[in-house]
Amino acid sequence: IAPWSGPLNGAEIKSRLKELGNIQITFCAYMGKDQTFILTVKDPRNVLPLLDSNEPKDMQVLDVTQLHAILFRHILKIDTREKDQQQYVSYKVNSEEAMAMVDKGEYNVAFFMNPTLIDQVRNLAEKGIRLPQKATFFYPKLLSGLVINKFGP
């Protein structure tokens, strides 16, 4: 765990996570302007016992899976797979919005992680594996009618 240093905004968080995430598992915890931390797993082998052994290995390497396993289930004791515990976690697309909600006291902490890579999504989809909630947020959104409805006779 290291305190944040330098400019603090959504773009900087995204940039720092991308840079560090190429080397090791990294998250950012925002608890306010003076309480922002970079959380890094120094040895990924230490995470293995925390992951759900029933999940495929391809799923276990996703940042979203590791965030839920390490921080939510094992540290905060929130299991978002349980319907009654989903009330404790909210998802925001806009990092600035998430930070503002923490600043206003609406939330205690905002966690940031690297996005799921398209190759990871494709690999899991081809194997018929369902991804965790919000692991596949892409922008811009395709219109559902173009993707779901059949064109033609």
Q: Which residue has the higher pLDDT, 145 or 46?
A: 46
In a domain, 140, yes or no: yes
Mean pLDDT of 3-9: 82
Supply the pLDDT for residue 7.
Answer: 74
In a domain, 33, yes or no: yes
In a domain, 7, yes or no: yes
Supply the pLDDT for residue 22.
Answer: 79
In a domain, 68, yes or no: yes
CATH number at residue 119: 3.30.1760
Q: Which residue has the higher pLDDT, 99 or 41?
A: 99
Assign 3-class secondary structure to the chain. Answer: CEECCCCCCHHHHHHHHHHHHCCCCEEEEECCCCCEEEEECCCHHHCHHHCCCCCCHHHHCCHHHHHHHHHHHHHCCCCCCCHHHHHHCCCCCCHHHHHHHHHCCCCCCEEECCCCCHHHHHHHHHCCCCCCCCCCCCCCCCCHHHHHCCCCC
On the question of pLDDT at 31 being above 90, the answer is yes
80: CB partners within 8 A, 6+ apart: 68, 72, 86, 89, 133
In a domain, 57, yes or no: yes
In a domain, 153, yes or no: no
Long-range contacts of 140-143 (CB under 8 A, 24+ apart): none
Cis peptide before 56 (omega within 30 of 0): no
Supply the pLDDT for residue 111.
Answer: 93
**Under 8 Å between Cβ of 102 and 108:** yes
2-6, 26-30, 66-70, 77-81: which is most confident: 26-30
- Please give the residue range of the domain that contains residue 52: 2-148
Supply 83's token pair. Answer: 């319907």
Q: How far is CA 101 from the centre of its chain?
A: 17
Q: How far is CA 142 from the centre of its chain?
A: 22
| pLDDT bracket for residue 145 (50, 70, 90) | low
Q: What is the pLDDT of residues 92-127, one digit of tens each?
A: 888 999 999 999 999 999 999 988 888 888 898 899
On the question of pLDDT at 138 being above 80, the answer is no
Number of domains into which the chain is organized: 1
Supply the pLDDT for residue 143.
Answer: 59
In a domain, 99, yes or no: yes
Mean pLDDT of 8-19: 90
In a domain, 79, yes or no: yes
Handedness of CA 69, 72, 78, 84 (dihedral sign): negative
